[in-house]
Each structure stands twice: as C-alpha cells, then as structure tokens.
C-alpha cells in the first residue's frame, strides 16, 4: 500500500486551513495544516512533506518570505506553491517558490499540487 502524498498547508486563518485541507484531501492528498500565529509557525518535525501550499497574506508579525525561509530550513527541497488573490507572485518570492495559484480556483490549485508532487517524486525540482 503506497502512502498518500502530503501537502503542508500554511495559513493564519483556521477556517481557510480547514477549507484547503478538505480540498486537498478530496483529491487524495494528505493535508497537514500549520497555523501561523502571532508567535510564528511550528513546522512538523517528522514525516515526509511532498509539497507546501502557502498563503501569501499572513499575520502582521511574519511575512510569507520569512515562512519560506523557515520551510527551506526544515524541508530544503520541497516545492512551494504560493496562494494569493494577487495577479502574480510577488517579486521577493518569485525566485524561491515553484508555483503560484490565485485563490478561488480549486481545480487549478489541485492541478498545480499534482504537478509539484510528481516533480518531487521524480526528483526533477
């Protein structure tokens, strides 16, 4: 029996985390929610992570760039997709992430995650 691909879901809104978890799990992934709080984030210490979905707009005390740096410190090769309502990935994140998805399109979100997970499995990042 093969394991489900795991997606780390990072957001500062617990309702959004639950929605994203439902979306990714409905597609056969395992969603691992990470809530951004005023104290920062607490990344999981065990288990594989196949991709990260990061909301761009976070709590005022931490930026998406800071979260990307923390994720890279813990999971150096994991692909990161940024989720935002902006029209393009912000310049400061563009060289550090592998994908950008606009909010409101779950089909595109899942398509992007599937591509990232395939790249992770094949080692083509």
CATH of domain 6-122: 3.40.50.2300
pLDDT of the residue at 46: 78
Closest listed residue to residue 54, CA positions, set 46, 123, 43, 45: 43
Phi, psi angles (nearest 5°) of residue 97? -120, 160
Checking if the pLDDT of 125 tops 60, the result is no
Question: What does the alpha-carbon distance between residue 49 and residue 38 come to, in Å, rounded to a whole number?
Answer: 24
Over residues 5-25, mean pLDDT: 96
Nearest-Å Rg of the Cα atoms of the chain is 13
Q: What is the pLDDT of residues 82-106, one digit of tens each?
A: 999 888 888 888 999 999 999 999 9
pTM recorded for the entire structure: 0.90
Helix (H) or strand (E) segment spanning residue 12? none
Tokens coding 69: 């740096």
Q: What is the pLDDT of residues 26-81, one digit of tens each?
A: 999 999 999 998 777 889 887 789 999 999 988 788 899 999 999 999 999 999 99
**What is the DSSP-derived secondary structure letter of residue 38?**
T
Question: What does the alpha-carbon distance between residue 55 and residue 11 come to, in Å, rounded to a whole number?
Answer: 5
Tokens coding 8: 């780390």
Closest listed residue to residue 82, CA positions, set 8, 6, 18, 5: 8
């Amino acid at each position: 029996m093969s394991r489900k691909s795991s997606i780390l879901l990072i957001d500062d809104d617990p309702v959004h985390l639950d929605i994203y978890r439902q979306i990714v799990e409905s597609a056969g992934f395992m969603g691992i929610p990470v809530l951004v709080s005023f104290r920062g984030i607490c990344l999981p210490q065990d288990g594989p992570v196949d991709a990260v979905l990061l909301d761009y707009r976070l709590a005022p005390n931490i930026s998406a760039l800071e979260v990307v740096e923390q994720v890279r410190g813990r999971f150096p090769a994991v692909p990161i997709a940024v989720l935002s309502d902006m029209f393009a990935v912000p310049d400061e994140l563009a060289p550090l992430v592998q994908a950008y998805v606009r909010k409101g399109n779950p089909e595109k979100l899942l398509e992007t995650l599937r591509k990232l997970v395939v790249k992770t499995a094949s080692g083509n990042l």
